[in-house]
């Protein structure tokens, strides 16, 4: 069995033997196992199905209780589908934050991802080019421009998440590669690299 998480920029594959990512613009690999996928990218989905017409989209099999609009991304749905009481923070090209309480989705919000945040300041002015640092002491007021930018950037991401955690008093589950830049600023948290793949496996076990 091969799992595939199709994002905005990459195909993320997990086979029985390996895990890897490729750009949506690159040639798809040769895969002999049955493929199960989720996708937020229609064009990349068509490309996958053109090469693997028997690949199974897991979207119709997901049962998810929420009052959120139908615009909620499938990546967020699958990440939350098998969570009972947690805040889910998925750090990718965007950072999504979702609250699950008693297996019901209460809502959430979306922020630009860390890479997108890092591009904001040089776009304002070349003089605001900076070196990103994720081990900044946020208890100290910055005294130079590089620290000042890093301080603001990190706080723009961290403070809204902490506010939600304080409100609901739930453990945070981080996933996504860039979680490593912010996870140490939080308490009552854990990291699950394969959260989405684990949820996909649960959907397969229950429905297929």
- The one catalytic residue in 75, 90, 139, 147 is 75
Q: What is the pLDDT of residue 208?
A: 80
Residues of the chain with CATH 3.30.420.40: 2-57, 65-115+136-193
As its CATH architecture, domain 65-115+136-193 has 2-Layer Sandwich (3.30)
- Grade residue 186 by pLDDT with cuts at 50, 70 and 90: very high
75 is known as an active-site residue: yes
Q: What is the pLDDT of residue 36?
A: 97
Whats the size of the chain, residue-wise?
Answer: 208
> Is residue 56 within 8 Å of 34, Cβ to Cβ?
yes
pLDDT tens per residue across span 62-107: 888 899 988 898 989 999 999 999 999 999 889 999 999 999 999 9
- Grade residue 191 by pLDDT with cuts at 50, 70 and 90: very high
* Per CATH, domain 2-57 is 3.30.420.40: yes
Q: List, in sequence order, every residue forming a beta bridge with 2; answer none if it has no partner.
A: 35
Q: Is 17 exposed, middle or buried (0-12, 13-18, 19+ CB in 10 A)?
A: exposed
DSSP 89-140: EEESSEEEEEEEETTEEEEEEEEE-HHHHHHHHHHH-GGG-----S---TTS
> Is residue 100 within 8 Å of 80, Cβ to Cβ?
yes
Q: Output DSSP code: residue 59.
A: G
């Amino acid at each position: 069995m091969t799992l595939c998480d199709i994002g905005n920029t990459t195909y993320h594959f997990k086979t029985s033997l390996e895990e890897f990512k490729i750009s949506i613009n690159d040639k798809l690999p040769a895969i002999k196992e049955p493929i199960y996928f989720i996708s937020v990218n229609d064009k990349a989905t068509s490309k996958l199905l053109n090469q693997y017409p028997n690949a199974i989209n897991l979207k119709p099999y997901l049962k998810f209780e929420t009052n959120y609009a139908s615009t909620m991304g499938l990546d967020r749905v699958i990440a939350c589908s098998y969570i009972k009481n947690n805040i889910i923070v998925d750090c990718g090209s965007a950072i999504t934050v979702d609250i699950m309480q008693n297996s019901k989705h209460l809502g959430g919000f979306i922020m630009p991802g860390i890479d997108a945040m890092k591009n904001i300041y040089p776009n304002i002015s070349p003089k605001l080019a900076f070196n990103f640092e994720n081990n900044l002491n946020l208890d100290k007021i910055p005294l130079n421009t590089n620290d000042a930018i890093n301080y603001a950037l990190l706080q723009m991401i961290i403070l809204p998440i902490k506010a939600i955690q304080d409100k609901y008093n739930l453990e945070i589950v981080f996933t996504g590669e860039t979680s490593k830049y912010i996870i140490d600023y939080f308490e009552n948290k854990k990291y699950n690299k394969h959260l989405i793949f684990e949820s996909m496996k649960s959907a397969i076990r229950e429905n297929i």
